[in-house]
Amino acid sequence: MLNIKTPANGFVSTDADPDNEYTGFARDFVNLIRDLTVELDPVYVSTHNTHVEPNTPSPETVIPFETPIELERIPWLGVYSEPLIDWFGGRDHVLETPAWKVTELENGSILIITTRTPWKGYHSKLPADDHLVDHVESREAANVLERGS
């Protein structure tokens, strides 16, 4: 397990144009996540907000041992490999996620950054949650109904 901690305050300039790419440390941080994902090919990568949840999560929380995994929300920055891409409804559906950045990586994983400002809207449902998590819940509910009939 690799645990990288950084404060959210000052991570990105709040004065910056929301369409601008990251610069400085934020750019380097995202590039590090991208490079490690391509090199290590994990099933799932997520970020954790220590201001909201002060304790570092246990490995069982951040390392899924089976897919599909349980997700209530899409993290501010997440990377999803093929099993999760399929679980979310397929590559095209995931690439259409309404988020600040959605990027297909060289290893086929998909990097999603929900908002330019880390953890902005953390306490509310974001469009990416509706698009991916609700899609899975709707599909699972339909499967239960189909099996019951």
Instruction: Give domain status of residue 11, yes or no.
Output: no
Rounded to an integer, the average pLDDT of 93-116 is 96
**Domain range enclosing 102:** 24-148
Domain count, the chain: 1
User: Is pLDDT of 8 > 90?
Assistant: no
Instruction: Give domain status of residue 12, yes or no.
Output: no
* pLDDT more than 70, % of the chain: 69
The model's pLDDT over 23-68, given as tens digits with 9 standing for 90+, comes to 888 888 899 999 999 999 988 888 876 655 555 444 444 454 555 5
User: pLDDT-based confidence at 147, cuts 50/70/90?
Assistant: low
Count CB atoms within 10 A of the CB of residue 12. Answer: 21
Q: What is the CA radius of gyration of the chain?
A: 16
∠ CA 115-116-122, nearest 5°, is 40
Instruction: Give domain status of residue 6, yes or no.
Output: no
pTM for the full predicted model: 0.81
Name which residue leads in pLDDT, 117 or 79: 79
Q: Is the peptide bond before 68 cis (omega within 30 degrees of 0)?
A: yes
Instruction: Give domain status of residue 4, yes or no.
Output: no
Instruction: Give domain status of residue 56, yes or no.
Output: yes
Q: Which long-range contacts (CB under 8 A, 24 or more apart) does 54-59 make?
A: 56/3, 56/5, 59/1
If residue 31 lies in a helix (H) or strand (E), which one and from where to where? helix 24-40
